[in-house]
A and B are shown apart, each in its own frame.
Chain A
Amino acid sequence: DTEVTQTPKHLVMGMTNKKSLKCEQHMGHRAMYWYKQKAKKPPELMFVYSYEKLSINESVPSRFSPECPNSSLLNLHLHALQPEDSALYLCASSPRRGAGDEQYFGPGTRLTVT
């Protein structure tokens, strides 16, 4: 099983809403990532978890709050987002957080903030 799943596929939320994005992998990977991708741009790293601990936060605003409840699950909690936060949010996992470890990506959640 080389699959990373993400739910929901699409999400529309108002600026005052609270929502969560979910990501799951069952490949036994110990590193998990959140990326944000705007249209016609490459993915931008947001957060990295390694062995369920946050190891990188790329200066992401606090309205995005990641959580890694266990080695298979990764959540991204959203609160008081802005319209410019509308984007494709991609989750990825890799065996470890090593330079040579390829990342496997989920299909993404397309988020629209109104």
Chain B
Amino acid sequence: AQKVTQAQTEISVVEKEDVTLDCVYETRDTTYYLFWYKQPPSGELVFLIRRNSFDEQNEISGRYSWNFQKSTSSFNFTITASQVVDSAVYFCALSEVYGQNFVFGPGTRLSVLP
């Protein structure tokens, strides 16, 4: 069975600090996809990134970066120089090729204080 763990329930940082959100997953499939979504207070989930299991290259998009390590089954997300607008709940999700659905992790609530 597939499973996603986000051990940090809530994180608070002060604006301009860097913050890393952890995601650890479990799967028996060799082919799978990992996702990060952002859910601001408005409620809409916003797609941030997708990674497939064969692509371990780290990705950077502006202040956002992602570190995918198959050896530790982790797909961590770092926000550099955080801003108040980054305050949201962040979900990591796993989708297996031979599985049925997205499995979301429990989410990490990030609060960025001015």
Contact = CB atoms under 8 A, between A and B. Distances in A.
Interface of A: 40-43, 45, 48, 56, 88, 90, 92, 99-100, 102-108, 110
Name A's interface SS. loop
A88 to B, nearest CB: 6
Contact count band on B: 20 to 34
A72 B28 CA distance: 35
B78 to A, nearest CB: 20
B91 interface: yes
Contacts, number: 50
A99 B33 contact: yes
B59 to A, nearest CB: 14
A56 B35 contact: no
Contacts of B46: 105
Contacts of B37: 105
Given A42-B104, A48-B101, A99 B44 contact: no
Q: Counting chain A CB atoms within 10 Å of each CB, which of B44, B47, B99 scores highest?
A: B44
A64 to B, nearest CB: 17
Q: Counting chain A CB atoms within 10 Å of each CB, which of B42, B91, B95 scores highest?
A: B95
B101 A45 contact: yes
29 contacts: A40-B107, A41-B106, A41-B107, A42-B105, A42-B106, A42-B107, A43-B104, A45-B101, A45-B102, A56-B100, A56-B101, A88-B43, A90-B45, A99-B31, A99-B33, A99-B95, A100-B33, A100-B95, A102-B35, A102-B50, A103-B47, A104-B47, A105-B44, A105-B46, A105-B47, A106-B44, A107-B44, A108-B44, A110-B43
Given A41-B107, A107-B42, 7 more contacts: A42-B104, A45-B102, A88-B43, A90-B45, A92-B45, A102-B47, A105-B45
